[in-house]
Amino acid sequence: MIEFYTWFTPNGRKVAILLEETGIEYNTHSVNIGKDEQFDPAFLKISPNNKIPAIVDTDNNDYPLFETGAIMLYLAEKTGQFLNTTDRDAYWRTMEWLMWQMGGFGPILGQVHHFTKYNPGISEYAQTRYETEARRLYTVLNTRLEGREFIVDDYSIADMAVWPWAARHNWQEIDLNEYPNVRRWYMTMLDRPAVQRAWNIPENDQPLPVPE
Ligand SMILES: N[C@@H](CCC(=O)N[C@@H](CS)C(=O)NCC(=O)O)C(=O)O
């Protein structure tokens, strides 16, 4: 059994999608980051970086894990799903795009949320810098998806890691119509029942973002 500590944010939803897609048994524990529950001493024992999400694998001596990249690799290995380990090119391409999300798409879009959505006008420099970088990253993704249904051809943890960040395109003032391959891929993902269920973990009243 996987104990899943999370909140309804892009990083939480990355792991929620994977858990739902694999069909593995898990329990959800809400960690309300709006109420600073990520700083509770009990949670810090599992996630010393005081961020959601984190997991505990009770089938593996209560093994705790934080950082979504590590969690997704762990769950892909445990279930044997969504990471092709036999085709070495597919394996490394999946790693490459997972790392691209962890090191670029996530952190930069997180800054766009901070400066453009929540604190507009506070720093023109920061807003311009992160919005420009966000558009560059969407262009990179759009190019990668040209002629491909998914980021690494077969549906993988790379798609699950990137999608919840793209789901906040409105917050980022990104018009997905300017990135047609991203839009098509985004809609393919949106149609998946597991993605729809994951959006609501833990239960929340946020509507699934459907681009105009
Ligand atoms: N690199 C981390 C980032 C996790 C992260 O930033 N989580 C946010 C929510 S999306 C959080 O817990 N924020 C609470 C805080 O910063 O105190 C990962 O991929 O797991």
Query: What CATH architecture is 2-79?
Result: 3-Layer(aba) Sandwich (3.40)
**52 CA closest ligand 1 atom index:** 12
Give nearest CA residue, ligand 1 atom 4. 51
**11 CA closest ligand 1 atom index:** 10
Q: Which CATH class is domain 88-192?
A: mainly alpha
pLDDT at position 212, please?
85
pLDDT tens, 8-57? 999 999 999 999 999 999 999 999 999 999 999 999 999 999 999 999 99
The torsion region of residue 67 among left (phi > 0), alpha (psi -120 to 50) and beta comes to: left
**50 CA closest ligand 1 atom index:** 17
Here the tokens at position 120 are 């507009």
Report residues whose beta carbon is within 6 angstroms of any ligand 1 atom.
Answer: 9-11, 33, 38, 50-52, 67-68
Query: Residue 169 and residue 152: Cα distance in Å, rounded?
Result: 22
pLDDT tens, 68-87? 999 999 999 999 999 999 99
Query: What DSSP string describes 73-98?
Result: HHHHHHHT-SS-SSSHHHHHHHHHHH
Q: For residue 107, how far is its CA from the centre of ligand 1 (angstroms)?
A: 10
Domain ranges of the chain: 2-79, 88-192
Query: Residue 17 and residue 199: Cα distance in Å, rounded?
Result: 8
pLDDT tens, 180-193? 999 999 999 999 99
Task: Tell me the one-letter amino acid at 2.
Answer: I
